[in-house]
Amino acid sequence: MEGSLLALISQKLDDLSIEARELYLESRVPRLKKPPNPLEFYRKYVSPNKPVIIEGGITHWPGVRKWSPDYFRNKIGDQTVTVAVTPNGYADAVNGGKFVMPEERRMKMCQFLDILDKSDRHNPGVFYIQKQNSNLTEEFSSIIEDVETDIPWGSEAFGKLPDAVNFWMGDGRAITSTHRDHYENLYCVVKGWKKFILIPPSDLPHVPYETYQAAVYKQDDIGEFQIIDDEATGQVPWVAVDLLNPDLEKYPQYAKCQTVEVTVREGDVLYLPSLWFHHVQQSHGCIAVSICLIMGNLCWEAVSSTEQLAL
């Protein structure tokens, strides 16, 4: 009886994934040539939970013209910033059967820029400013005048101001492993490009998860990275499949996922709806600002319940 019920639930989840593609999901992320008005944005994208790119959506920001390593050296070179350091570019990702978080270091911005200038595949360590604590307002307030901390048509559509505004800059080898967030995200590329691989929430039953011991990287005195268990954090559920090289023999259900690839270029804005899985690559020295809005947890709780059934 229990086996039959689980089989029925699994079939219904498969049907949900298929019907979402047939009824409203698109095989490509739409691109708009100009920012939408708030009502259009809400009706066409926010309400149905669909991503969209607004080309040139932030080209009016002074930062698009001004931000560069030289500008940062002159403006905030002595500012202390938080930097994530890994041996392979993967922070908050699975390595060696563990969920490994980056070593966090505090350094002057000019030191970080020097490291990026000299970065190559023979240097130990991949450096990435990625701390998601609204670090633009906390650590980069001296350059906040160069951007907008909210996008008016977005804030009006969401009915609130952002909860966090984050600054991103780093090595081209840095990769964000596949995950999903419970907040709405307006992801703005100021310099360079970002490549996203997206999976819709309706494909959740096909995304393989496993539970891993949490750990952190620590570089030793001879420059080698060690993986140290984080007993306080304990076990972490995380996406088990590598989207760049999926092991379909181990995770055959992943073959049912519909992935969408999209490149966000300088001056563009990606609306990344809550609960969409995303994997991110970037150009070397790419600079971005993400504007995040938490819209409540009812949908998150519903999807989390579905996830438990899928597991």
Q: Are 76 and 143 in contact (CB under 8 A)?
A: yes
Give whole-number Cα distances, 33 to 48, 53, 59, 154, in Å: 20, 9, 12, 16
- pLDDT value for 120: 63
- pLDDT value for 12: 72
Using 50, 70 and 90 to split pLDDT, how confident is the model at 302? Answer: very low
pTM for this predicted structure? 0.91
pLDDT in tens, 116-125: 998 665 568 9
- pLDDT value for 222: 87
Rg of the chain in Å (alpha carbons): 20
- pLDDT value for 167: 98
Q: Which domain holds residue 192?
A: 2-310
- Least confident window among 15-19, 42-46, 144-148: 15-19
pLDDT above 60 (res 287) = yes
Q: Distance between CA 260 and CA 300 in Å, rounded?
A: 22
Helix (H) or strand (E) holding 71: helix 69-76
**What is the SS3 assignment for 211?**
strand
Give the domain CATH number at 293.
Answer: 2.60.120.10
Q: Distance between CA 288 and CA 238 in Å, rounded?
A: 25
Amino acid at 309: L
pLDDT in tens, 185-206: 999 999 999 999 999 999 999 9
- pLDDT value for 215: 98
- pLDDT value for 27: 84
Beta bridge partners of 187: 270, 290
Percent of the chain with pLDDT over 90: 82
Percent of the chain with pLDDT over 70: 91
Q: Distance between CA 238 and CA 207 in Å, rounded?
A: 10
Q: Distance between CA 273 and CA 239 in Å, rounded?
A: 18
Beta bridge partners of 103: 85
Q: What phi and psi values does residue 96 have, to the nearest 5 degrees?
A: 60, 35
Using 50, 70 and 90 to split pLDDT, how confident is the model at 309? Answer: very low
- pLDDT value for 4: 74
Q: Distance between CA 278 and CA 13 in Å, rounded?
A: 20
Q: Distance between CA 218 and CA 105 in Å, rounded?
A: 10
* End-to-end Cα separation, the chain, in angstroms: 18
pLDDT in tens, 225-268: 999 999 999 999 999 999 999 999 999 999 999 999 999 999 99
If phi over 0 gives left and psi between -120 and 50 gives alpha, with beta otherwise, what is residue 267? left
Q: Are 184 and 297 in contact (CB under 8 A)?
A: no
pLDDT in tens, 15-30: 677 777 767 788 899 9
Q: Are 85 and 103 in contact (CB under 8 A)?
A: yes
Please count the structural domains in the chain. 1
